[in-house]
Amino acid sequence: MIRVFVILILTVAVGAFYYFVSLLAIPQVVPQVIPQKTKTSSSEKAPKFVSLTGKPLDLKKISFQSAETCKACHTDIYDEWKQSWMAKSSQNKMFQLSFQQWKAFAQRSSKFDENSCLSCHAPIGYITEDYQLQNSISREGVSCDVCHRVADVQEHDFFYSLVLDPGDTKYGPYSDAIENPFHKAKQGRAVSKSELCATCHLDSLPTSTDLRVPLEWTFQEWKESSYASEKRCQDCHMPTLKGKSADFPNAPVRKRFSHKFEGGHSDSSLLDKAAEVRVVSWSGTELLVEVHNKNVGHHFPTKGAHPTELILWVKARDDINDIVFQDRRSYKLHYLNAQGKIAGATEVVKSLRDETLKPKEKRQETFSTLSVPEKIVKWEVQLWYFLVPPQLEKFLGEENYQKHYRPVLIDKVDEVVGD
């Protein structure tokens, strides 16, 4: 999804999309940051999907099953997945438009696979070369057979490949999987590991140096944090619950994993406890506020080529409740041009400015009110999360925007100033 947001700003030049043009860029990358060495990337990498032998998949030896088939025995899990963004990954309006923009860019540049977005948003369509998504199974997004056919993952430098079993074995988290007449079941080495998520949540653009420009950096942020030794991606995004993983009479009631895959969309419950703010002190002329990335296992917002932004707003009111002072701080990743300014759509990205909050980070912000003559009696401090700019409401449709993309108030504090 990260790449497609970048490409969106190239060609849409009216209305709400001016916001993108002013803030983001298609990185004609000459970066001078993120000094980690790497050998492969989303455009120069080894195959994303390989067979058990390590060779590219032989399409004649693999037959994917539709999620509708899995539904017959896994009703609860299917229902959870169906309402998730995994199921919507290829059919949501933002992706469909953005994918067309990416294809146009890739065709002009001759440097990128024009269908590469599908490798994450419609992997079965990508593997089977159904790039127009004409088959219904190709339109199922990240479906059951994509993850549960994974026997292992292969690690490269800042990139992971999926090792897919072309047979009828399905890989899950249990060592005592129930035998059934429909397919073989086996405990998988990858299905419960964060590295499985890295195959789509770790991506960057190639450069002429050993430096990277992140398109999707969530896995790397987690890996470099203390959470890497405390929690897996699945612990937050696939929390456990009690129930049956299959509808068989002899299937045990036990711990299973949610398949709602909640994440960064506005209707996600994870945002409710993501971060918090507090007033540290007020001197009469200076307000000190602390912002805490309390529960997000990666940067907040995560780094990449998307418009997601966290905004800290402070307002001061006088004794008649008029606003006499307001200011804000922004937290996101910016591409910068040679002059150190936010890069436009046609500029070369020379460096990055990372304002995102690291996992568990507590950052203090200072606001000076020396120029405010009125007496301040109350402070209002709010932390807002913007998945997309509000200007996109018309494009996305009001109902869709309000449900999935609206701004979310993460935390707020009202501080009354004492006499």
Range of lowest pLDDT (30-34, 68-72, 309-313, 398-402): 30-34
pLDDT of residue 418: 67
pLDDT of residue 210: 57
The one-character DSSP state at 47 is: P
- Residue 20: inside a domain, yes or no? yes
3 pLDDT above the threshold of 50: no
Are residues 253 and 296 located together in one domain of the fold?
Answer: no
Are residues 340 and 199 located together in one domain of the fold?
Answer: no
Are residues 52 and 176 located together in one domain of the fold?
Answer: yes
> Average of pLDDT values for 42-66?
76
The one-character DSSP state at 401 is: I
CB burial of residue 348 (10 Å; 0-12, 13-18, 19+): middle
Length of the chain counted residue by residue = 419
> Average of pLDDT values for 269-298?
96
Domain residues for the domain of 97 are: 2-257
- Residue 341: inside a domain, yes or no? yes
Identify which of 376, 278, 284 has the alpha carbon closest to the alpha carbon of residue 325.
376
Are residues 188 and 330 located together in one domain of the fold?
Answer: no
Q: Per the structure, how many domains does the chain have?
A: 2
Query: 34 falls in which pLDDT band (50, 70, 90)?
Result: very low
Q: What is the pLDDT of residues 217-264, one digit of tens each?
A: 999 999 999 999 999 999 999 999 999 999 998 899 999 999 999 999
359 pLDDT above the threshold of 90: yes
Range of lowest pLDDT (29-43, 75-89, 304-318, 339-353): 29-43
pLDDT of residue 345: 44
Are residues 48 and 69 located together in one domain of the fold?
Answer: yes
4 pLDDT above the threshold of 80: no
Query: 38 falls in which pLDDT band (50, 70, 90)?
Result: very low
How many Cα atoms sit within 13 Å of 70 on the Cβ side? Answer: 24
- Residue 309: inside a domain, yes or no? yes
Q: Rounded to 10 degrees, what is the CA torsion of 131, 219, 51, 125? A: -10
- Residue 262: inside a domain, yes or no? no
Domain edge (last residue) among 208, 226, 257: 257
Strand partners for 281? 288
How many Cα atoms sit within 13 Å of 43 on the Cβ side? Answer: 17
Q: What is the pLDDT of residues 9-32, one digit of tens each?
A: 333 333 333 333 333 333 443 333
The one-character DSSP state at 392 is: G
Are residues 209 and 300 located together in one domain of the fold?
Answer: no
107 pLDDT above the threshold of 80: yes
Identify which of 280, 299, 295, 257 has the alpha carbon closest to the alpha carbon of residue 381.
280
> Average of pLDDT values for 29-52?
52
> Average of pLDDT values for 383-409?
94
Are residues 150 and 247 located together in one domain of the fold?
Answer: yes
pLDDT of residue 347: 58
DSSP per-residue string spanning 99-141: HHHHHHHHHHHSSS-TTTTHHHHSHHHHHTT-TT--SGGGGG-
Please state, rounded to an integer, the average pLDDT across all residues of the chain: 85
- Residue 264: inside a domain, yes or no? no
Are residues 41 and 152 located together in one domain of the fold?
Answer: yes
Are residues 195 and 273 located together in one domain of the fold?
Answer: no
pLDDT of residue 362: 98
Q: Which one of 1-10, 42-51, 182-191 scores highest in mean pLDDT?
A: 182-191
**Beta 159-164 vs 150-156: how paired, if at all?**
antiparallel
What is this structure's pTM? 0.86
> Average of pLDDT values for 272-297?
96
Neighbours of 75 (CB within 10 A): 13
Are residues 296 and 401 located together in one domain of the fold?
Answer: yes
Q: What is the pLDDT of residues 129-185, one digit of tens each?
A: 999 999 999 999 999 999 999 999 999 887 899 999 999 999 999 999 888 889 999
> Average of pLDDT values for 65-79?
96
